[in-house]
Amino acid sequence: MSGFLGAGKTTIILNLIKSLQAQNNTTTTTTTTTATPAAAAVADEPYRVALLKNEFGDVEIDSQLARETNITVSEMLNGCVCCVLVGQMQNALVEMREKFNPHRIIVETSGSAFPAPIAWQIRDMEPLGFALDAIVTVVDALNFQGYADTSFTAKLQAQYTDLIVLNKAELVSERALDLLVDRVCELNPDTPRVIARNGHVSPELMFGLDSKAATGARTVEDAHHSDHHHQEREVDIITVIRPRDSPPISHTPASLATALASLPKDDIYRIKGMLLLTTGSALDGDSNLAWHLVNHAFGRSTIQPLHQYSSENSVRLTVMGVGLSVHCACTVRKSKLHWE
């Protein structure tokens, strides 16, 4: 699954896996030619899905989110799976199969990955028993029009795919959605499109597509010839780490959400990570620090408690955008996190 930064890939995957789990729990053993993967497996054993994630930086926020829902996750950090980490993906997939024996592995790429080299790598693994089901690209209905003109990667993602998911449709008007469909059709008029609201897509639409996308080149060697520096030119990445023995930051979840909302979304694409926030009331003497997961994308944020996380650092964030060397000092001052 590909898609630009903040398109909602992880949300769709988590909802997809929940749907598969629900089908597995409720489907009878009756065999049918239209059975979903979960239905096909339910007669013998639970349907197992594993997630291989390629993330920016070294802060595995989305993987931590997946673990909170008891999903098997493996990470590939600090590089792009379509070029810098070529070769490592094969090792990761083989290891996941040997360790967890899943019925299906979902590969979620970073926001700057080209889909085609990843498809080549998986097709080259057919002698090892792997098969590429489909390339699915998630398009952000709210923000795609803004960054498509400047991001070559975003346009490639919409072109080299078997299915386009127009996500966050609930956040835009029908007119805006029609304009988005027109824009996507200019890039890729032949690929099927589905509309997703609140990150929900039926498994029947996502699986069994028998991929035909990016079939022109076949070898991993071709993938090595792709542009290894594309993510560096399109997206600046800064990792922020604050030791736990530093003075605690003075934010509650609500105050942090307010601070993040004030950041320029045209330049600060994403902020994601884990940090300790104040909970309870200091006036009542009931305040304490608790781990929270922060996921900020293009002006919208979610901040939620973490129950299965601990770290020697009180702040561990990855910031992504453009011109961050100019914006970073202003951003940390504006958010009052004092990271300098």
75 phi and psi, to 5 degrees? -110, 150
Spatial strand order of the sheet with 300-305 comes to 236-243, 313-321, 268-279, 288-297, 300-305
pLDDT digits (tens, 9 = 90+) for 251-296: 899 999 999 999 888 888 888 888 889 886 544 444 688 889 898 9
Q: In this structure, which topology does domain 235-335 adopt according to CATH?
A: Hypothetical Protein Yjia; Chain: A;domain 2 (3.30.1220)
User: 67: which 2 tokens?
Assistant: 């673990």
Amino acid at residue number 187: L
The architecture (CATH level 2) of 2-231 comes to 3-Layer(aba) Sandwich (3.40)
* CB neighbours of residue 237 within 10 Å: 17
Per-residue pLDDT of the chain (340 residues; tens, 9 = 90+): 999 988 999 899 989 888 887 776 543 332 222 234 444 444 456 778 888 887 655 555 555 655 555 555 665 544 444 444 456 788 888 988 998 888 888 998 888 888 888 888 889 999 999 999 999 999 999 999 988 888 888 998 999 899 999 999 999 999 999 999 999 999 999 999 999 999 999 999 998 888 777 565 444 444 444 444 444 557 788 888 888 888 777 789 999 999 999 988 888 888 888 888 988 654 444 468 888 989 898 889 999 888 777 787 778 888 888 888 766 655 544 444 444 3
Among 335, 268, 329, 324, residue whose Cα is nearest residue 297: 268
- CB 36, CB 28: distance < 8 Å: no
Q: Classify each residue of 71-98 as buried b or exposed e, where b means 16 or more C-beta atoms within 10 Å of its C-beta.
A: bbbbbbbebbbbbbbbeebbebbeebee
* CB neighbours of residue 221 within 10 Å: 11
User: 234: which 2 tokens?
Assistant: 């399109």
Among 142, 62, 52, 67, residue whose Cα is nearest residue 97: 52
User: 302: which 2 tokens?
Assistant: 């979610």
**Alpha-carbon Rg of the chain, whole angstroms?**
21
DSSP string, 129-140: T------EEEEE
> What are the structural domain ranges in the chain?
2-231, 235-335
Its pTM stands at 0.76
